[in-house]
Amino acid sequence: MAQDFLTNQFLVAMPSLEDPNFRESVTFICEHNAHGALGIIINRPMNVVLDDILKQLDLKAESPAMGATPVFLGGPVQPERGFVIHEPQGDWQATLKVGENIGVTTSRDVLAALAGGNGPKRSFVALGYAGWSPGQLEEEIKSNSWLSAPADAAIIFDTPVEQRWQAAARSIGVDLSLLSGDAGHA
């Protein structure tokens, strides 16, 4: 039987998922294979803006709007490590290509380009990531912790942060407000 991997999918936390790291979260799965999975939560803004990150790298945003870009908590693993989800993929030093047009870059060059005003057209900056060991994510899905939905760039880049959880579920026809927090098993 072929393995179904979830790269370029959203994981939408079920209302029953109580883990504070993932409660009501939407996670963009950047990589999923036999070795595990890596994702970035796209609806956890931090009290940090891009200027705060750039200062640590001796960079400065040319535009105040770019410097004020919110930075998100991408997950509980390595919260000091930066990730930029962006479109188009571009040609950066360390980019993981996810889907047709989206890339996830961890190298400094994409931040320098964003600061200089010549970065990718659309970007999302996060610190940290969510990680799963081999088979762990599949088990969590079987236990009804997550819904999976095709990733949608509009939800990552255009949807207001407080609407992303519901929007990702609605993209596959699920109204989360109709699901109780205590789903049972038959």
Per-domain residue ranges for the chain? 9-178
Q: Does the pLDDT value for residue 185 go beyond 60?
A: no
Task: Give residue 1's pLDDT band: very low, low, confident or very high (50, 70, 90).
Answer: very low
Structure tokens at 40: 């970035």
pLDDT number for residue 186:
44
4 alpha carbon, distance to own chain's centre: 20
Residue with tokens 């993932």: 22
* Domain boundaries 9-178, CATH class: alpha beta
Task: Give residue 4's pLDDT band: very low, low, confident or very high (50, 70, 90).
Answer: low
Of 28, 32, 34, the residue nearest 13 (C-alpha) = 28
pLDDT in tens, 116-138: 999 999 999 999 999 999 999 99
- Cα–Cα dist 47/67, whole Å: 13
Three-class SS state of 31: strand
pLDDT in tens, 138-160: 999 999 999 999 999 999 999 99
Q: Are 156 and 150 in contact, with CB atoms under 8 Å apart?
A: no
**Percentage of residues in the chain with pLDDT exceeding 90?**
88
pLDDT in tens, 37-88: 999 999 999 999 999 999 999 999 999 999 999 999 999 999 999 999 999 9
Task: Give residue 178's pLDDT band: very low, low, confident or very high (50, 70, 90).
Answer: confident
Of 128, 130, 111, the residue nearest 119 (C-alpha) = 111
pLDDT number for residue 183:
47
Of 157, 64, 61, the residue nearest 103 (C-alpha) = 157
Q: Are 147 and 169 in contact, with CB atoms under 8 Å apart?
A: yes
Signed CA dihedral, 159, 160, 164, 170: sign only: negative
Task: Give residue 177's pLDDT band: very low, low, confident or very high (50, 70, 90).
Answer: confident
CA angle 39, 22, 90 (to 5 degrees): 25
Cis-peptide into 88, omega within 30 deg? yes
Q: Are 82 and 106 in contact, with CB atoms under 8 Å apart?
A: yes
